Amino acid sequence: MTSYQIVMDDELEILIDAETIENAVAGLAERISRDYAGKDLVLVGVLKGAVPFLADLARAVTIPVELEFVEASSYGNGTASSGEVRLTRDLDRDVTARHLIIVDCIVDTGRTLKTLLELLRKRLPASVEAAVLLDKHVCRTEDVGIRYQGLEVPDRFLVGYGLDWAQKYRNLPYVAAVLPEKMNI
Ligand code: IMP
Ligand code: MG
């Protein structure tokens, strides 16, 4: 099946193809499976962007995990972070004494993950770590320890594999950059 290779729009440039994503996810899943063998692990997905990554990661790990969700918002509909991270959906379960991994598709400034890590630590889990597939390393302003990182990406506005541009393009099975001349900002 090759239909996904057709770019849905002429405003995108594919940066990371589906196979590269699959390999990166497999590598992270292997490490997580080893590190948490015999432990009570909950993967906490950050809605909505983490959905494809969480689904693939959860199926690639070889240990039992539970899935929970939070939702955080910092970008609104724009293409630059507003700077303020709001929790728009909290966990609906007690996670005391459980091992948690926050799962998000991308880390940019690090503010979202830092806020979520601080918040979840207050719930007294056995441990809390973070896993991200994409790392916009040059944009980091926060000192946040991320134990599981997949692929480094450039400082461009990205869509696909969960990432959106005003809610569009989350369903692309690859990661693409929006062409600067199409962004109108
Ligand atoms: P941070 O708080 O600056 O690290 O930003 C993290 C959040 O911003 C992610 O969870 C994404 O929702 C969003 N984000 C960061 N970079 C991009 C991008 O290139 N495209 C779409 N969303 C992004
Ligand atoms: Mg977004």
* pLDDT tens-digit readout, 13-58: 999 999 999 999 999 999 999 999 999 999 999 999 999 999 999 9
- What is the reported pLDDT for 185? 58
pLDDT band at 7 (very low <50, low <70, confident <90, very high): low
Ligand 1 proximal residues by C-beta, below 6 Å: 46, 49, 74-75, 81, 104, 106-112, 136, 157-158, 163
Task: List beta partners, residue 92.
Answer: none
* pLDDT tens-digit readout, 8-23: 678 999 999 999 999 9
Q: What is the spatial distance between Cα 48 and Cα 70, in angstroms, rounded to a whole number?
A: 9
Least confident range from 2-16, 112-126, 171-185: namely 2-16
Catalogue the active-site residues: 108
- What is the reported pLDDT for 1? 47
Looking at domain 18-156, its CATH class is alpha beta
Decide if pLDDT at 117 tops 70. Answer: yes
Ligand with the closest atom to the CA of 78: 2
* pLDDT tens-digit readout, 127-138: 999 999 999 999
Q: How far is the CA of 71 from the centre of ligand 1 (A)?
A: 13
Q: Name the closest-CA residue to atom 11, ligand 1.
A: 106
Closest by CA to 133, choosing from 62, 54, 63, is 54
- The domain spans of the chain are 18-156
**Which of 47, 82, 112, 149 to probe ligand 1 with, by most ligand atoms within 8 A of CB?**
112
Closest by CA to 88, choosing from 49, 129, 125, 137, is 49
φ, ψ at 57 (rounded to 5°):
-65, -45
CB-CB contact of 104 with 71 (8 Å): no
DSSP secondary structure letter of residue 39: S
Per-residue tokens: 42: 């909950």
In the predicted model, what is the mean pLDDT of residues 85-95?
Answer: 94
Q: Name the closest-CA residue to atom 9, ligand 1.
A: 106
Q: How far is the CA of 122 from the centre of ligand 1 (A)?
A: 24
